[in-house]
Amino acid sequence: MLEEKIEQMWARTQKWVEEGTFEEHLPESLESFSREILPLVAVRAFFKGVGKLDETAADVVLKEVGEACGDYELGYMTLQGLSIPSPDIDAFLEAHEKGENTPSGGQSRVTRQGNTATLVVKGGCVCPLVKVLNIEPTPNHCLCTLNHLKHVYETGLNRPVKVELIETYLRVGNSCTIRMSWK
């Protein structure tokens, strides 16, 4: 997505240079760059940089990102008719699976055994930003997913939840397994 926007910007810029109208279009070009490209470039650089931080620092930053992403998912669940917090754990898990299947292209499965749910995502990293920004994920990026799921499950179930990364895309290459447990 980012590369496509950059190509479009450069094509417009090249056209204006060839026409001799670049100076005239400079304010428009800067506005477009600031609105459409710079935010994505900044997020890509930010996410790449988080991959280079020590785990403690990365966790502080990615807690904020994960919770923001979790709020989006919780909003999606309420649009699907789910009450948050949900009195029905199975309905909550079904809504969560549906939400996870959007970025994974239908490759996500949530299963439940007692007070434990397991999320398995096949096909790569669970984070849609990794795909959209075309970055190589690091172990730190999994902290974002853990924080995201902790926020979603604690808010959705209205209780403390332990989230564990069982397998990662980085280790096995084609899937991710995460376990959520509550009392």
Q: What is the mean pLDDT of residues 108-121?
A: 95
CA angle 5, 9, 11 (to 5 degrees): 115
Q: What is the pLDDT of residue 107?
A: 84
Name the strand (E) or helix (H) holding 166.
Answer: strand 161-167
β 108-113/116-122 pair status: antiparallel
Evaluate if residue 124 carries a pLDDT over 80: no
Measured in degrees and rounded to the nearest 5, phi and psi for residue 41 equal: -65, -40
Is it the case that residue 44 has pLDDT exceeding 90? no
CA distance 54 to 42: 20
Determine the Cα–Cα distance for residues 96 and 81; give it in Å rounded to an integer: 12
* Type of residue found at 158: N
Report which DSSP code applies to 85. Answer: S
Overall average pLDDT of the 144-162 stretch: 95
Which residue has tokens 């939840």? 161
How confident is the model at residue 99, as a pLDDT? Answer: 85
pLDDT score for 151: 97
9 pLDDT tier (thresholds 50, 70, 90) = confident
pLDDT of residue 173: 66
Residue 172 binned pLDDT confidence (cut-offs 50, 70, 90): low
Beginning with the edge strand found earlier in the chain, give each strand of the sheet holding 175-182 in spatial order. 108-113, 116-122, 175-182, 161-167
Mean pLDDT of 173-178: 80
